[in-house]
């Protein structure tokens, strides 16, 4: 009995998904996870920075979802209450509010910082300043700078107050210390000016440094916020694919019911043009089903009794009945949705270098500054001397350059990408792309056009191509099959004259037949010709060649004599060969994945010179294949365009979606190729490499200034040269480091695409 009670309690654990607004770095993730894991009743907590969500396992008997929200809010972040029915609208509303708030605070900060900078520079450049302002410079700068710091109060709340609770530093901590040091030093000087103490003047104020640092960082946060909040859209669009109702047979009568009421074992009726509501097996009837929205393959599949059908796919031609085998969360579509959610909910592997270093950098700088103050004060140099050295250390160590090193390069890099038809959704995507080793391409719609096209026409001796096309197109005119559409389009392009057809008959899964004039025609598969005792031996070599090339062959017979064959296939996209060759030359391992049979897959791969092929892969297994490649310890990119690619795009380290593909694929991808141009996939990877080189250069310069500047600011040269770094010089060095970082990032505009 006790065992049963314990088991019941353990199984009663629930999982909560909470949206979070305001996370900026890996330290934010660590802070929130730390707060949650300390709560009694929480058995697990994982925060995903990329999609801004916390995944929490908790005991509802010990802690409530409301308390989880309160814990996160107390850590300095805003939560989105996902459990409400209107959660989607609420999430969108909160993100819009965040963007609106950041926009307003940035606008206010910029409006106040510009005149502040002018007044601060006036003493060094002899700029005109009204007498009233020059006589009250400290007060004016104080009044202009203080509201800017209030606009950036989030950095102080999270950087200083929260760090006390979790004992971890972040970029917010660096910003708070740097801005706070400049502001407090300026406030100290202002106090001396107002009281008439000392010899300080306007040149000793650094309000503009504090104000402009807040302004630039607010701009960066605003741009980041604009790019967030897209992950849930992929799930929403997948959910809209499912049918709302189903027509079933119960008690001998047809009855339309809600999709949620369909049970396994029900007999479901599907008419032409309707969506198939759930998964099942056909029991009666024949049809052609468009499964492209799930499998990604463009050619509809012929279905007859015993064939499996997938929910959310579209019935093209005939009516049929099927027995429901999988309903609700067990359907293929539901499993795809689950896979996308799991892939998106998994923890991002990337940690920002600056955030890692900040955990040690901030305490180290603060410790150095305190030691410097104590040493100089104890040596008898006086309080002002010691305080000047203390402030100089903090100002020169201000993380302006460190904070701008990555965002500026990311902003410029993503801007360049957009101009080149590459939409990079996040800094994480930009950073990861250059480390990719494996690039997995979906076949249909990505490497190929995704639309059948006539590629070959072979006629028997004594027959003409024009006559064969005219007869075949005349019959295919009555067929709704995509292969028929391809043949008809090709024939009309060749100016074929269509003729009257009598006795048209569709032979499900085999072909069609009919009479033109006095002649009886049969079009279809080799099996159909065999059933009709039509000799095809003279075309065996052609049939083998065309089928080995992965093409679908339509045989055309007149009066039981073969006239010829027409081959239809999905053709390669423009630049596909060039892109594959370029990526291989860059050292990338290329893999092609498809739901097609092995013969077709290998034929296409052979044309592209791709050695690694994964054929006959079900939609739910594409993500598993990505996982297998990732298990080798290398980064994997997935390039795709269909709904069936969404789980794999989400699972891959970098998902590259064709922008002209389905909305779900676009939303699930980390990088979107706006144009249907495969060359942009190579551009995305090359741009990532270029941007990361710039980011590393920026970080080098940012740390170089600190490593050289901090010892000088601490006064190591004073005993030997009498030189003590003035906060003015410290501020200039800090500003120069920022300018160099921004300038280096702007040089990225010289980037030229490699193909």
Catalytic sites, residue numbers: 442
- Dihedral of alpha carbons 67, 70, 72, 74, sign: negative
| ∠ Cα 315 316 322 (to 5°) | 30
* Cβ contacts of 616 within 8 Å, gap of 6 or more: 594, 595, 596, 597, 598, 601
The four Cα atoms 347, 352, 353, 359 give a dihedral, to 10 degrees, of: -80
Measure the CA–CA gap between 713 and 704, rounded to whole angstroms. 14
CA nearest neighbour of 624 among 651, 587, 588 = 651
Residue matched to tokens 């923890």: 347
| ∠ Cα 283 287 290 (to 5°) | 115
The four Cα atoms 619, 624, 627, 629 give a dihedral, to 10 degrees, of: -80
Measure the CA–CA gap between 52 and 654, rounded to whole angstroms. 18
Taking a C-beta distance cutoff of 8 angstroms, is the pair 618, 637 a contact? no
Pairing of strands 561-572, 53-58: unpaired
Measure the CA–CA gap between 213 and 738, rounded to whole angstroms. 10
Helices (H), 248-378: 292-295, 332-345, 353-378
Measure the CA–CA gap between 444 and 450, rounded to whole angstroms. 5
User: Which tokens in the block code for residue 738?
Assistant: 């920022």
Q: Phi and psi of 566, rounded to 5°?
A: -120, 125
Taking a C-beta distance cutoff of 8 angstroms, is the pair 744, 705 a contact? no
Q: DSSP assignment, residue 112?
A: H
Helical packing angle, 383-396 and 679-714, nearest 10°: 170
Cα–Cα distance list, 311 to 314, 497, 648 (Å): 9, 40, 20
Sheet holding 301-303, edge to edge: 301-303, 287-290, 314-315
CA nearest neighbour of 502 among 475, 477, 468, 472 = 475
Taking a C-beta distance cutoff of 8 angstroms, is the pair 731, 182 a contact? yes
* Cβ contacts of 50 within 8 Å, gap of 6 or more: 231, 344, 348, 426, 428
Specify the DSSP element, H or E, that contains 325.
strand 320-326
**Left (φ > 0), alpha (ψ -120 to 50) or beta: where does 457 sit?**
beta
Specify the DSSP element, H or E, that contains 450.
strand 448-459
- Reported in sequence order, the residue ranges of 666-720 that DSSP labels E, i.e. its strands, are 671-673
93-130 burial, b at 16+ Cβ within 10 Å, e below that, comes to: ebbeebeeebeebbebbbebbeebbebbebeeeeeebe
Cα–Cα distance list, 706 to 209, 401, 505, 709 (Å): 17, 10, 82, 5
* Cβ contacts of 307 within 8 Å, gap of 6 or more: 281, 282, 301
Measure the CA–CA gap between 162 and 159, rounded to whole angstroms. 6
Measure the CA–CA gap between 79 and 91, rounded to whole angstroms. 9
Specify the DSSP element, H or E, that contains 557.
strand 552-558
Taking a C-beta distance cutoff of 8 angstroms, is the pair 462, 538 a contact? no
Partner residues linked to 251 by β-bridges: none
User: Which tokens in the block code for residue 680?
Assistant: 């942009």
Taking a C-beta distance cutoff of 8 angstroms, is the pair 646, 241 a contact? no
Helices (H), 230-331: 231-239, 292-295
């Amino acid at each position: 009995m006790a065992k049963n009670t314990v088991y019941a309690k353990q199984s009663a654990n629930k999982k909560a998904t909470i949206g979070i607004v305001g996370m900026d770095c890996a330290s934010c993730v660590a802070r929130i996870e730390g707060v949650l894991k300390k709560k009694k009743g929480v058995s697990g907590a994982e925060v995903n920075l990329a999609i801004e969500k916390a995944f929490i396992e908790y005991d509802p008997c010990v802690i409530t979802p409301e308390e989880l929200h309160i814990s996160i809010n107390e850590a300095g972040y805003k939560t989105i209450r996902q459990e409400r029915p209107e959660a989607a609208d609420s999430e969108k509303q909160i993100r819009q509010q965040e963007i609106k708030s950041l926009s307003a605070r940035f606008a206010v900060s910029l409006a106040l910082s510009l005149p502040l900078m002018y007044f601060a520079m006036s003493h060094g450049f002899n700029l005109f300043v009204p007498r009233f302002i020059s006589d009250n410079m400290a007060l004016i700068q104080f009044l202009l700078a203080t509201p800017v710091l209030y606009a950036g109060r989030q950095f102080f709340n999270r950087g200083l107050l929260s760090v006390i609770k979790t004992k971890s530093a972040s970029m917010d901590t660096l910003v708070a210390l740097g801005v706070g040091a400049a502001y407090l030093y300026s406030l100290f000087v202002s106090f001396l000016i107002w009281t008439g103490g000392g010899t300080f003047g306007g040149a000793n104020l650094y309000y503009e440094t504090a104000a402009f640092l807040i302004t630039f960082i607010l701009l960066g946060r605003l741009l980041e916020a604009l790019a967030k909040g897209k992950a849930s859209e992929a799930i929403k669009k997948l959910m809209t694919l499912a049918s709302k109702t189903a027509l079933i047979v119960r008690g001998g009568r047809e009855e339309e019911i809600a999709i949620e009421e369909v049970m396994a074992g029900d007999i479901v009726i599907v008419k032409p043009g309707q969506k198939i509501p759930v998964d099942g097996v056909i029991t009666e009837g024949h049809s052609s089903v468009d499964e492209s929205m799930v499998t990604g393959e463009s050619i509809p599949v012929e279905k007859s009794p015993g064939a499996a059908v997938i929910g959310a796919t579209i019935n093209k031609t005939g009516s049929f009945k099927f027995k429901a085998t999988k309903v609700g969360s067990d359907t293929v579509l539901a499993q795809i949705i689950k896979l996308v959610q799991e892939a998106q909910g998994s923890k991002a592997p990337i940690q920002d270098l600056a955030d890692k270093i900040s955990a040690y950098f901030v305490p180290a700088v603060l410790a150095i500054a305190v030691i410097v103050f104590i040493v100089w004060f104890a040596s008898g140099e006086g309080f002002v001397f010691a305080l000047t050295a203390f402030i100089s250390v903090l100002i020169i160590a201000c993380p302006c350059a460190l904070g701008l090193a990555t965002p500026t390069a990311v902003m410029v890099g993503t801007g360049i990408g957009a101009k080149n038809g590459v939409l990079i959704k996040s800094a994480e995507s930009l950073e990861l792309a250059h480390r990719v080793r494996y690039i997995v391409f979906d076949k249909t719609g990505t490497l190929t056009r995704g639309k059948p096209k006539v590629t070959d026409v072979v006629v028997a001796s004594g027959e003409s191509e024009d006559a064969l096309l005219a007869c075949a197109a005349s019959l295919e005119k009555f067929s709704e099959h995509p292969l028929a559409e391809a043949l008809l389009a090709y024939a009309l392009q060749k100016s074929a004259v269509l003729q009257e057809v009598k006795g048209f008959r569709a032979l499900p899964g085999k072909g069609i037949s009919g009479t033109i004039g006095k002649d009886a025609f049969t079009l279809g598969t080799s099996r159909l010709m065999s059933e009709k005792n039509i000799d095809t031996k003279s075309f065996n070599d052609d049939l083998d060649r065309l089928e080995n090339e992965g093409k679908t062959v339509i045989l055309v017979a007149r009066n039981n004599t073969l006239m010829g064959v027409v081959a239809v296939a999905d053709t390669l996209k423009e630049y596909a060969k060039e892109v594959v060759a370029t990526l291989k030359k860059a050292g990338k391992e290329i893999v092609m994945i498809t739901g097609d049979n092995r013969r077709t897959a290998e034929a296409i791969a052979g044309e592209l010179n791709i050695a690694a092929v994964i054929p006959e892969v079900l939609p739910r297994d594409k993500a598993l294949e990505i996982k297998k490649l990732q298990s080798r310890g290398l980064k994997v990119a997935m390039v795709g365009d269909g709904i069936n690619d969404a789980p794999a795009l989400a699972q891959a380290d970098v998902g590259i979606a064709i922008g002209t593909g389905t909305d779900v694929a676009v939303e699930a991808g980390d990088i979107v190729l706006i144009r249907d141009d495969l060359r942009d996939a190579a551009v995305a990877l090359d741009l990532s490499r270029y941007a990361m080189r710039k980011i590393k250069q920026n970080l080098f310069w940012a740390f170089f200034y600190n490593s050289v500047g901090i010892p000088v600011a601490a006064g190591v040269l004073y005993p030997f040269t009498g030189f003590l770094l003035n906060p003015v010089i410290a501020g200039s060095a800090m500003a120069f480091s920022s300018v160099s970082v921004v300038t280096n990032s702007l040089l990225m505009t010289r980037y030229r695409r490699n193909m």
